[in-house]
């Protein structure tokens, strides 16, 4: 796996991204990429709580959808206050390397991208409600078959919301796809730092936390 992070130009906007990877005794790997609405100290505390709970729950719960539902109950019970407007987008997947399969579920997260050699990039289907806004939310699991050298790209909104200096032009999903494809052509090995560097070469700056995780299958 390859992960990199960029802090926003405004330090007060930092602190909301969560990236957690857990390898379990059964040979599976659970992955969380989330973005909480709070920033600063509150956002960092919130993010730490989500990460810690994910590590515990994923050890006992296989389904990504059920993991998200557990995270949602934690968020709602701990932070249920409409005046604060706290919520989190999140993506959870569990990889089964021996079977070349993944299960995943999304709660308002940015659309994951599957890179496959010699094929066009694929945007994964399926999304659900963000965490923390309702006490009871039902999410769905989606299956994904992967091949050797496939790469699953997960990212927070700070990546695609990066803007060129002095303009409102966003990188967007299409811009990220273009940069990922160009980076893969130049160097097949997945590298999150190289992908974010390509965005910066566009003259873009980050207005929010930007996290990017690339999960390679061998």
pTM of the model: 0.91
Q: Is the pLDDT of residue 186 over 70?
A: no
Total number of residues shown for the chain: 218
CATH topology (fold) of 2-216: Phosphatase 2c; domain 1 (3.60.40)
Q: How does residue 104 score in pLDDT terms, banded at 50, 70 and 90?
A: very high
Question: 165: Cβ–Cβ under 8 A, 6 or more apart, which residues?
Answer: 203, 204, 205
Half-sphere exposure of 47 (CA within 13 A, CB side): 21
Domain ranges of the chain: 2-216
**Strands (DSSP E) along the chain, which ranges?**
2-6, 17-23, 29-36, 88-96, 101-107, 113-115, 122-123, 142-145, 151-155, 163-164, 204-205, 210-216
- Per residue in 72-99, pLDDT (tens digit) is 998 888 765 656 668 899 999 999 988 8
Q: Is the pLDDT of residue 152 over 90?
A: yes
- Per residue in 54-68, pLDDT (tens digit) is 999 999 999 999 999
């Amino acid at each position: 796996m390859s992960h990199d992070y960029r802090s926003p130009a405004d330090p007060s906007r930092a602190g909301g991204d969560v990236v957690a990877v857990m390898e379990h005794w059964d040979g599976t790997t659970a992955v969380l990429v989330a973005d909480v609405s709070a920033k600063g100290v509150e956002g960092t505390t919130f993010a730490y709580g989500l990460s810690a709970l994910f590590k515990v729950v994923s050890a006992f719960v296989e389904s990504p959808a059920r993991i998200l539902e557990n995270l949602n109950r934690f968020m709602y019970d701990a932070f249920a206050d409409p005046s604060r407007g706290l919520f989190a987008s999140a993506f959870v997947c569990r990889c089964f390397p021996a079977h070349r399969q993944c299960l995943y579920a999304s709660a308002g997260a940015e659309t994951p991208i599957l890179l496959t050699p010699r094929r066009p990039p694929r945007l994964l289907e399926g999304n659900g409600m963000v965490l923390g806004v309702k006490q009871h939310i039902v999410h769905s699991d989606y299956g994904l078959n992967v091949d050797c050298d496939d790469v699953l790209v997960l990212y927070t909104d700070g990546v695609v919301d990066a803007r060129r200096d002095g303009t409102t032009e966003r990188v967007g999903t299409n811009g990220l796809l273009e940069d990922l494809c160009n980076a893969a052509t130049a160097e097949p090995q997945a590298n999150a730092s190289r992908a974010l560097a390509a965005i910066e070469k566009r003259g873009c700056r980050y207005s929010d936390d930007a996290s990017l995780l690339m999960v390679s299958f061998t």
